[in-house]
């Protein structure tokens, strides 16, 4: 066994705080070490060549690189070993940058620490065994969860590349929140007009299987081999037979709130969510229909010419295998009734941004005329309050929801275009217009279209006769503001949707403090998650506007393709393994495993049936939780055996 | 008879005598008698709440301790100290909560109290009389005792700040309080809503800058007049003082013809329950409510 040690100076990043020569000299007398060198940039081409040459000339078979974090360059140096025919797991990285030079200032002490870390690594490395990564096959189908604009884009991109893609949507139609919007900033083009061609493409694409009214109920397996159960609810209308004639709707006796119009208008229990819905079919809402029992009411079935209504339809469970999953479960508007001082819920004329969006829409409850909910009058003064819930760490959401400045500006502008003698006032904390043509859009609203902007928060809204009394502050003039308005529109912030929370816990995806799903790396892996094979699209990972969502979704599709395009995948070899002689089948490891990678299996041992833990090599992430939990020391960790770690500890505890 | 250990505070003995006397009188009628703590001291008011100094918490904790002792002598008394003044209520509630969550603070204060052979065992709750009326007595039982419905009184309930703020001391929803409204309805009065029902009266600025109080009070009263009310009902001696005394001054300046009498909620209860009018000490009011009561034939 011949170990080669390489100390990287990383320019002055390491050499500035650590005496690298001294560190290199300290390794020379250690057992099995043949050579110990310092190099300015070990990761550079000449640095790698230096190691390659030493392997050839000195016959090194194990390499230690003391440099940055293994998450940066371990793959680089492993490749060097592999090229020279050595087992890549015989490489050891010692982190003397992030965990030593960067965090210390005393050169003497930092050098001492680097020496101990290196010594520990040499002793551990001498005990290292060559490991062979396992290979698993890949199913070339993709699953996209969520049918908003993010899911639509991701599904279309994946289908275009040629992968069979399932798009699962909880509600009766795809389209998501974008389908409810009237116009989009900053171009003011009609939301439905740019969205519906994409929705139609989804419905027609030969590679896309669209499952509306369906929910993912169970996910098992691992990258390349997810086994997924999807529950498709019964719609009681055969979409193939339904001709969209609308005969069934007028006869339905059940009248309820229409969620598409944000509960501002009524609909029946048999309905089509909106005219451009995909799949284009009427459905019966099980929860509100008088009874899927035709004895009680079957008025719709009686009038249905093509006999599309089938009360005997049953929900079905679809089981399918997928190679990659794209999570596009989206956001939910912040429940502004939590903001007591704005009185949403108790004051009629205080409405949410999405409600105003429907009021502006030509297909909305007021046919595109701006009317307020209480008496249907056209409001002459409308106050738009930004950050309703956002940027309030004490009571509501701590973060900026990113889109509200722009959509409130858009609302004010649209209102001024529709009501020429109306006054639109925006109360804002800061105006954030980071996006192409966004600042110009805001300037246009403020300068050309006469929208008034007041910097400051509204402290309370009170009913005063048939008007609203708004009390707040103008922080630029430090004066209190009191004014009357006919309508107040609150710009709700964005928060993770119920679906996002549910899918995150089902797939064991870590979420950040605000509940949005955490990216694998906030900058360099914005669409990956820590679970390989699962990718993020759109607002499931944080507030985004439409262009950003679309780009994010295409990114997710492209990242998913990198897995779907493989025939088989290599799995990291540093995973848990069970010593069956020691295992007594208590199952504590099964409970502790965060990835559900361990199961108890019955085994025959000298004529007796015993239970032992078995690790699913594809699922195991090598986190080591099970080894720490096991009372018998029966679960070990390949690449991190007890002996190796003890050798490390011994070296570190010696002065 | 349920008896409550009652902490009056300074105002109730000076410029709000009618508040106390009427409240004590109706409390007896409602089987929730307010019995004064024999040896109470000042709650500490602003001095307690404007500094973190633990010394300033001793006064309110001593009140709680004495009230606890007082309960032993009372009949069917819950472990509750009843208050009438919004400021006292707020101070006592906040300090009570503070020592309940921080044992260290309580033991330091108790160390000081030992000199007077007092100690507090954090087993009291502070309740405003309005809370007792709402939660323990109930509006239905109040309505049953009404013998003279307050027909013709169009009253704006006014809460001010201390009943609703801060979070730890609030007696009702801070955005949409309703206790005074329901109480007035159970007395047969017509309740009129003014959006300025929580607007600050100017509070202690009365001692350093009257103009602030004047601008607040004139706004509040203007809206009360616009909404067609003929009275206001309050629960705080300081609100009452500002609205009553400054109104008199403003009327002199502007020649306003429509004075709005300011009632404590307990005074209107006393009238509706047929208590003698003298207990209300209406002679202390700057805007004499007896004129309105006479017009409406409610004076007794």
- Write down the ipTM of this complex: 0.72
- Residues in a beta bridge with A385: A427, A490
What pLDDT, on the 0 to 100 scale, is given for residue A539? 97
- Residue B181: list chain A partners with CB under 8 A: none
- Residue B173: list chain A partners with CB under 8 A: 340
Q: Which helix (H) or strand (E) holds A415?
A: helix A404-418
Query: CB distance A340–B173 less than 8 Å?
Result: yes
Nearest CA in chain A to B196: A462
For the cut 80, the answer to whether the pLDDT of residue B49 exceeds it is no
The domains of chain B are located at 2-130, 138-295
Phi, psi of A324 (to 5 degrees): -145, 155
Answer yes or no: CATH 3.30.70.20 is held by domain A576-638.
yes
Query: CB distance A340–B174 less than 8 Å?
Result: yes
CATH code that applies to domain A234-314: 3.30.70
In this structure, CATH architecture of domain A141-233+316-330+497-564: 3-Layer(bba) Sandwich (3.50)
Fold observed for domain B2-130: Glutathione S-transferase Yfyf (Class Pi); Chain A, domain 2 (1.20.1050)
- Residue B195: list chain A partners with CB under 8 A: 462-464, 469
For the cut 90, the answer to whether the pLDDT of residue A138 exceeds it is yes
- The chain B residues in contact with chain A (CB within 8 A) are 173-176, 193, 195-196, 198
- Residue B196: list chain A partners with CB under 8 A: 462
Cα gap A571→A550, rounded to integer Å: 31
What pLDDT, on the 0 to 100 scale, is given for residue A100? 95
> What is the per-residue pLDDT across A451-468, written as a single tens digit (0 to 9) for each?
999 999 999 999 998 999
Answer yes or no: CATH 1.20.58 is held by domain A3-126.
no
Cα gap A494→A497, rounded to integer Å: 9
- Residue A340: list chain B partners with CB under 8 A: 173-176
User: Pairing between strand A598-605 and A608-615?
Assistant: antiparallel
For the cut 90, the answer to whether the pLDDT of residue A609 exceeds it is no
Annotate A506-541 with b (16+ C-beta within 10 A) or e (fewer): ebebebeeeebbbbbeeeeebbbbebbbbbbbbbbb
- Residue A463: list chain B partners with CB under 8 A: 193, 195
What pLDDT, on the 0 to 100 scale, is given for residue A621? 84
Q: What share of chain A is helix, strand, coil (3-state, %, to 5)?
A: 30, 25, 40
In this prediction, what percent of chain A has a pLDDT beyond 90? Answer: 87
- The chain A residues in contact with chain B (CB within 8 A) are 340-341, 343, 346, 460, 462-464, 469
Between chain A and chain B, the number of residue pairs with CB atoms below 8 A apart is: 16
The domains of chain A are located at 3-126, 141-233+316-330+497-564, 234-314, 334-495, 576-638
For the cut 80, the answer to whether the pLDDT of residue A376 exceeds it is yes
Query: CB distance B175–A341 less than 8 Å?
Result: yes
Query: CB distance B175–A343 less than 8 Å?
Result: yes
Q: Alpha carbon of A245 to those of A203, A237, A254, B91: distances in Å? A: 20, 13, 19, 68
pLDDT band, very low/low/confident/very high, at A140 (cuts 50, 70, 90): very high
Annotate A286-307 with b (16+ C-beta within 10 A) or e (fewer): bebbeeeeeeebbbbbeebeee
CB B199 within 8 A of CB B220: yes
Query: CB distance B175–A463 less than 8 Å?
Result: no
> Greatest CA span in chain B, whole angstroms?
58
Query: CB distance A469–B173 less than 8 Å?
Result: no
Query: CB distance B173–A463 less than 8 Å?
Result: no
Query: CB distance A463–B193 less than 8 Å?
Result: yes
- Residue B193: list chain A partners with CB under 8 A: 463
- Residue A464: list chain B partners with CB under 8 A: 195
Query: CB distance B195–A341 less than 8 Å?
Result: no
What pLDDT, on the 0 to 100 scale, is given for residue A134? 85
Q: Among 1.10.150.530, 3.20.20.70, 3.30.1010.10, 3.50.50.60, what is the CATH number of A334-495?
A: 3.50.50.60
For the cut 70, the answer to whether the pLDDT of residue A655 exceeds it is no
Q: A391 to chain B, minimum CA–CA distance in Å?
A: 21
Cα gap B243→A490, rounded to integer Å: 34
Query: CB distance A463–B174 less than 8 Å?
Result: no
Q: Which helix (H) or strand (E) holds A73?
A: helix A70-83
Nearest CA in chain A to B227: A465
Q: A462 to chain B, minimum CA–CA distance in Å?
A: 6
Interface test with A, best of B175, B216, B229 (most A CBs within 10 A): B175
For the cut 80, the answer to whether the pLDDT of residue A294 exceeds it is no
Nearest CA in chain A to B173: A340
Cα gap B117→B39, rounded to integer Å: 14
Q: A341 to chain B, minimum CA–CA distance in Å?
A: 6
In this prediction, what percent of chain B has a pLDDT beyond 70? Answer: 100
Comparing A412-416, B48-52, B260-264, the range with the smallest average pLDDT is B48-52
Mean pLDDT along residues A300-319: 92
Nearest CA in chain B to A342: B175
CB A351 within 8 A of CB A488: yes
Cα gap A72→A91, rounded to integer Å: 14
- Residues in a beta bridge with A613: A600
Q: Alpha carbon of A117 to those of A14, A81, A121, A623, A653: distances in Å? A: 14, 22, 6, 21, 11
> What is the per-residue pLDDT across B161-192, written as a single tens digit (0 to 9) for each?
889 988 889 999 988 899 999 999 999 999 99
Nearest CA in chain B to A339: B175
> What is the per-residue pLDDT across A17-70, written as a single tens digit (0 to 9) for each?
999 999 999 999 999 999 999 999 999 999 999 999 999 999 999 999 999 999
Q: B227 to chain A, minimum CA–CA distance in Å?
A: 9
Answer yes or no: CATH 3.40.50.11810 is held by domain B138-295.
yes
> One fold for both A141-233+316-330+497-564 and A334-495?
yes
pLDDT band, very low/low/confident/very high, at B63 (cuts 50, 70, 90): very high
Phi, psi of A560 (to 5 degrees): -65, -35
């Amino acid at each position: 066994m011949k170990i080669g040690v390489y100390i990287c100076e990383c320019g002055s990043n390491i050499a500035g705080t650590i005496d690298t020569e001294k560190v290199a000299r300290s390794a020379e007398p250690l057992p099995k070490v043949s050579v110990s060198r310092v190099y300015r940039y070990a990761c550079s081409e000449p640095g790698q060549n230096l190691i390659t040459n030493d392997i050839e000339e000195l016959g090194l078979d194990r390499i230690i690189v003391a440099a940055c974090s293994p998450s940066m360059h371990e793959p680089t140096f492993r490749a060097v070993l592999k090229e020279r025919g050595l087992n890549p797991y015989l490489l050891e990285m010692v982190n003397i940058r992030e965990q030593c030079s960067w965090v210390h200032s005393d050169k003497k002490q930092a050098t001492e620490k680097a020496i101990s870390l290196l010594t520990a690594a040499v002793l551990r490395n001498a005990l290292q065994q060559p490991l062979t990564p396992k290979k698993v096959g890949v199913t070339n189908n993709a699953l996209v969860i969520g049918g908003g604009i993010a899911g639509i884009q991701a599904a279309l991109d994946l289908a275009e590349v040629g992968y069979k893609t399932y798009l699962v949507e909880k509600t009766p139609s795809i389209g998501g929140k974008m389908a409810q919007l009237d116009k989009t900033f900053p171009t003011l083009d009609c939301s439905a007009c740019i969205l519906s061609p994409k929705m139609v493409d989804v419905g027609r694409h030969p590679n896309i299987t669209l499952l509306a009214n369906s929910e993912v109920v169970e996910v098992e397996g691992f990258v390349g081999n997810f086994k997924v159960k999807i529950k498709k609810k019964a719609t009681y209308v055969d979409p193939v037979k339904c001709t969209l004639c609308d005969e069934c709707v007028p006869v339905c006796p059940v009248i309820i709130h229409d969620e598409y119009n944000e509960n501002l208008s009524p609909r029946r229990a048999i309905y089509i969510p909106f005219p451009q819905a995909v799949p284009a079919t009427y459905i019966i809402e099980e929860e509100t229909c008088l009874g899927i029992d035709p004895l009680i009411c079957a008025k719709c079935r009686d009038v249905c010419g093509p006999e599309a209504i089938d009360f005997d339809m049953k929900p079905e469970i679809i089981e399918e295998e997928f190679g990659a999953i794209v999570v596009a479960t989206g956001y939910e508007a912040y429940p502004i009734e939590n903001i007591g001082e704005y009185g949403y819920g108790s004051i009629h004329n205080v409405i949410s941004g999405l409600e105003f969006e429907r009021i502006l829409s030509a297909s909305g409850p007021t046919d595109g005329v701006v009317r307020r909910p209480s008496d249907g009058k056209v409001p002459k003064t409308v106050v738009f309050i930004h950050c309703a819930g956002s940027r309030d760490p004490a009571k509501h959401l701590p973060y900026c929801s990113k889109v509200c400045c722009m959509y409130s500006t858009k609302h004010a502008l649209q209102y001024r275009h529709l009501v020429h003698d109306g006054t639109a006032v925006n109360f804002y904390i800061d105006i954030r217009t980071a996006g192409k043509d966004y600042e110009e859009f805001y300037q246009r609203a403020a300068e050309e279209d006469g929208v008034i902007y007041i910097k400051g928060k509204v402290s309370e809204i009170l009913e005063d006769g048939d008007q609203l009394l708004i009390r707040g502050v103008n922080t630029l003039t430090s004066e209190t503001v009191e004014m009357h308005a006919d309508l107040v529109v609150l710009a709700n912030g964005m928060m993770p949707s119920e679906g996002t929370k549910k899918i995150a816990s089902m797939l064991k995806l870590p979420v950040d403090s605000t509940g949005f799903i955490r990216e694998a790396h906030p900058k360099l892996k914005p669409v990956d998650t820590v679970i390989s094979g699962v990718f993020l699209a759109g607002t499931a990972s944080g507030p985004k506007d439409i262009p950003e969502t679309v780009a994010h979704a295409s990114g997710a599709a492209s990242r998913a393709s990198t897995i779907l395009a493989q025939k088989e995948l290599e799995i990291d070899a540093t995973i848990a393994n069970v010593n069956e002689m020691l295992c007594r089948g208590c199952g504590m490891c099964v409970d502790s495993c965060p990835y559900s990678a361990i199961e108890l299996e019955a085994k025959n041992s000298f004529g007796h049936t015993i239970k032992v833990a078995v690790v699913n090599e594809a699922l195991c992430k090598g986190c080591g939780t099970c080894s720490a939990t096991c009372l018998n020391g029966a679960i070990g960790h390949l690449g991190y055996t007890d002996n190796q770690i003890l050798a490390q500890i011994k070296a570190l505890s010696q002065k | 008879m349920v008896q409550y250990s009652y902490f009056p505070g300074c105002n109730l003995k000076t410029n709000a005598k009618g508040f106390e006397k009427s409240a004590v009188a109706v409390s007896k009628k409602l089987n929730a008698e307010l019995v004064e703590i024999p040896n109470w001291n000042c709650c500490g008011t602003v001095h307690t709440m404007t500094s973190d100094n633990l010394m300033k918490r001793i006064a309110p904790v001593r009140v709680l301790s004495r009230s606890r002792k007082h309960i032993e002598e009372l009949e069917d008394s819950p472990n509750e100290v009843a208050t009438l003044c919004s400021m006292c209520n707020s101070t006592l509630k906040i300090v009570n909560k503070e020592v309940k969550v921080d044992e260290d603070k309580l033991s330091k204060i108790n160390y000081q109290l030992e000199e007077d052979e007092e100690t507090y065992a954090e087993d009291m709750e502070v309740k405003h009389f309005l809370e007792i009326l709402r939660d323990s007595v109930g509006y239905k039982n109040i309505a049953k005792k009404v013998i003279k419905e307050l027909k013709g009184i169009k009253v704006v309930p006014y809460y001010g700040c201390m009943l609703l703020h801060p979070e730890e001391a609030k007696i009702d929803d801070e955005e949409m309080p309703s206790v005074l409204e329901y109480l007035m309805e159970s007395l047969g009065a017509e309740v009129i809503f003014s959006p300025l029902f929580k607007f600050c009266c100017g509070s202690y600025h009365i001692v350093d800058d009257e103009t602030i109080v004047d601008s607040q009070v004139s706004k509040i009263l203007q809206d009360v007049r616009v909404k067609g009310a003929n009275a206001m009902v309050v629960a705080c001696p300081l609100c009452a003082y500002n609205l009553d005394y400054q109104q008199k001054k403003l009327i002199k300046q502007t020649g306003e013809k429509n004075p709005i009498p300011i009632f404590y909620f307990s005074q209107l209860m006393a009238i509706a329950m047929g208590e003698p009018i003298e207990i209300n000490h209406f002679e202390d009011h700057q805007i004499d409510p007896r004129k309105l009561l006479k017009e409406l034939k409610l004076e007794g």
